[in-house]
A = this chain, B = another copy of it.
Amino acid sequence: MYRRITQFTDIWDAQRTLLEGVGPVREREYVHVFESYGRVVAEPVYSPADLPAEHASHMDGFAVNSKDLENASPENPVRLRVVGESLPGRPSPAKLKPGEAVRILTGAYLPEGADAVVPQEFVSREGSEVVVSASVKPWEYVDLRGFDVRKGQLLFGAGHRVKAADASLMAALGIEHVSVLRRPRVGVVAVGDELTESFEEARRGRVLNTHSRFTVRLVEAAGGEPVYLGIVPDDVETYKEFVSRNIGSLDMLLSIAGSSISEKDVSSLSAGFMNRSQYVHGLKLQPGRIGGFTFVRGKPWIFLPGLVMSTLNVFMFLAYPALRKMQYMEPRFYWRRSKAILSGNVYFRKYIDFVKVVWVRVDEESDPPRCYPILGESSGLSIPSRSDGFILGEPGVKQLESGTQVYVHYPPAL
């Protein structure tokens, strides 16, 4: 009478199959450089200019010709006539002749004829002259034209995610607009007659839809544009119509809950009806074994199970790498990872041949860093709140021993 999952797919096989059906977003947007934080550049960015554009002073002082000071010393100070001033944004028009200097501030361009800067700490000024009692080497205290960035140099390859420092650099080079990928549009829908968005209704016994908020935040942190689609009821026909209506404008659909095998599990039911041939239901991932995916009109539809740790794990193992691939990034199941010493034993009693996921709190300040397993049921809403990342129990492994060195994998947000 009840459906059964007869075969659980290896999680890496499932990931591979999903990723084969997913490609990078094609559309580009042309955005202002200061609106480009967090966006992914669509094409390689080359520098349109040298930085600095001219030889520039590294100090406040005087632009000089180093030859004039060849023999300068405390016993033999050299006097130079100050013939102008070079300020940032207002270079001196003067061309230095022998015996001349130009007052110059940090960042200002060197006047013609100058090849070094004497910092003001090393001179004394007397009216229209400066007295210098030390020699300087050619190009000393000078930021050479193009030392920082050369015209034509590759700044960022396609797929680079723009940091604030990148935006400032591009702006300083005169790049005002940048071609970036359109963010992958990720629909998020929750399934269940019991769900509500209203705290008032939740107080009267309905279940507050908290997982959608959480998932939306994960999508955002992964670079996607979340499109929150609300709650659909436990009805297969309504659901199929809902998916047909929405999938066209999305790059990916994430449904939350309804992925198990009861009569109310309309995510897995509907998906099975809509595309049986590309239907994966049941993963060798625990928690997360009742997750799966299919494709509708070429778009991936991932069904995240409703128990929070399963929601999170299936997001990380399927949705996250797919979102990365859509943005030209290596399709990993974690944002970053680092090593830590496991503090506490973890025993696996079931699903031994699955990949088991254990969430952990990390103390990165201890030396070496330590991580503490946050055990509990997969329905434990407090687990992600108390965790920083997760470790893996490989297939066949029945126990992770305290003291073992493990990789902690971090989600893009929690």
Contact = CB atoms under 8 A, between A and B. Distances in A.
A166 B377 contact: no
Contact of A213 (B52, B164, B213, B414): B164
A120 B264 CA distance: 13
Interface string A162-196: 01111111011010100000000000000011110
Interface residues of A, number: 83
B147 A89 contact: no
Interface stretch (A68-76, A315-323, A381-389, A395-403): A381-389
Contacts of A264: 87, 105
A192 B88 CA distance: 9
A317 B164 CA distance: 19
A89 B218 CA distance: 26
A380 B148 contact: yes
A275 to B, nearest CB: 24
Contacts of A194: 87-90, 107
B214 A168 contact: yes
B107 A379 contact: yes
Interface stretch (A17-25, A201-209, A238-246, A293-301): A201-209
B385 A261 contact: no
Contact of A147 (B87, B88, B380, B385): B380
A37 interface: yes
B106 A307 contact: yes
A237 interface: no
Interface in A257-274: 260-262, 264-265
B377 A58 contact: yes
Contacts of A213: 34, 164, 167-168, 171
B369 A205 contact: no
A337 interface: yes
By CB atoms of chain B within 10 A, which of A120, A125, A149, A218 has the most? A120
Nearest to A126: B1
Contacts of A91: 205
A88 B207 contact: yes
A26 interface: no
Contacts of A169: 210, 381-382, 384-385
Contacts of A4: 121
Contact of A377 (B148, B165, B176, B382): B148
A178 to B, nearest CB: 13
B148 A176 contact: no
A49 to B, nearest CB: 10
A356 interface: no
A60 interface: yes
Contacts of A163: 384-385, 413-414
Interface string A301-342: 000001110000000000000000000000000001111000
10 contacts: A58-B379, A89-B195, A90-B193, A107-B306, A143-B379, A148-B376, A148-B377, A164-B213, A164-B218, A337-B365
Given A163-B385, A164-B217, A168-B214, 6 more contacts: A2-B125, A107-B194, A107-B207, A149-B382, A169-B210, A337-B364
10 nearest A-B pairs in the assembled complex, by CB-CB distance: A89-B194, A165-B384, A164-B217, A168-B210, A88-B194, A60-B262, A165-B385, A169-B385, A176-B199, A148-B380
